[in-house]
Amino acid sequence: MAAEKNNIAASSGEGNGYEMKLGLGTIAMLISATGMGLVPLFSRWATRVDMFDGTQGLAGSDSIGALMACGRMGMGVIFFIILMFATHKVATFKKLKLTPAIALGGLMIGMSLACYVTSTLMTTVANAVLFIYIGPVVCVLLARIFRKEPISLLQGICLIAVFVGMLFGNNLLGFGVGGQAFGFDVNLATSTPEFPMKGVGDIFGFLSGLFYGASMFFNGYRKDADTTARGVWNFIFATIGAVVIVILMNVYGMAAGAENWILTFEFTPFNWVGAILLWIVCGPVALGFLLVAGRNLPAADYGTIAYWEVPVAIFIGLVVFGEALTANTIIGAILIVGGGAVPSIKGMIAGRKQKQEEGVRETLSANLEAEAEKEGLK
């Protein structure tokens, strides 16, 4: 997910003498974002009785999505431990001081993914992915409140665009809403034939966005930490976070007599294939390409391309699951992707302009030195 991208971007190849390969980095980031965007596909593959028909129900209880998140985060732990030994970072890991920010950053992203996967099973893919991308808004607001970070005019406009996009994407605002040509209605549809618990799914989508934003906020601390060493701790606590959601669902199920939240599952071989693909493709494969991208792209480019995850997920909902793509959904996606990507694009343009200016200064300096040497030889 995107919060993981923020961690790795902080330790990219910038400023350490490494010559970044922008083409390689761009391809790697697109592959990684595509892997992240496939979460709805594999989560439904792994958990539905009939992958393409939600009316047939799940191959288990409603907490099965959070269980899938536990497996995905567990694969992240294994990936980073292997990477730690392969890159001889064991000593670095032992020296890294575990702080509340590192622990909470991991805990929040684990809880976010558990809620997100649950949301993809209970509501439309578009609703799930557009809800989670309120995360950047939550992060900026938390940074403003607790770190007193200023919000520029551009940031303010982009935050409003993301929030309005969330309203459009979830049919709270837009064309045909509330029985009007263009209206606003806070009443989300709570049930449909395919998604009988759609309202609950939307709530989990919203929670995934809150936890995602909190994770981004906590990841803003300790940027000095080595990517691999921090990654091990992040995913350990992310696994714990996902487990916490599973436990809370079960506690609620037992306390309220709602057996549908008490964990059970009856996977077929077909379901197991989907689960393994979710854990591997959206785990080590996506993370591996993410590391390559982080080393070969400036942070601004990295953050911009990361939004490719949104259209990939919406495309999956449209083509694979036949979910309607309305004008409101399209407008919402444009506003959310645009609002999130514009600051990164601005930073990308500024970074490249600065690099060009530095190149001109270096060339001018070299020419002046050459002229001075010629004068000295006369």
Burial 234-256 (b: 16+ CB within 10 A, else e): bbbbbbbbbbbbbeebbeebeee
Distance CA 321, CA 315 (A): 9
What is the DSSP pairing of strand 173-175 with strand 182-184? antiparallel
Residues 6+ apart with CB under 8 A from 183: 173, 174, 176, 177
Distance CA 149, CA 145 (A): 8
Residues 6+ apart with CB under 8 A from 147: 220
**The pLDDT value given to residue 158:** 85
Residue that the structure tokens 């010559």 belong to: 19
One digit per residue, pLDDT tens: the chain, 378 residues? 655 655 555 444 444 555 777 788 888 888 988 999 999 999 999 999 999 999 999 999 999 999 999 999 999 999 999 999 999 999 999 999 999 999 999 999 999 999 999 999 999 999 999 888 888 888 888 888 998 888 888 888 888 898 898 888 878 889 988 778 898 887 766 788 889 999 899 999 999 999 999 998 898 787 778 888 989 999 999 999 999 999 999 999 999 999 999 999 999 999 999 999 999 999 888 888 887 877 777 766 666 777 888 889 999 999 999 998 889 989 998 998 888 777 767 766 776 677 777 777 777 777 777 777 776 655
Helix H or strand E encompassing 183? strand 182-184
Amino acid letter, 152: S
The three-class DSSP label of residue 54 is helix
Amino acid letter, 42: F
**The pLDDT value given to residue 44:** 97
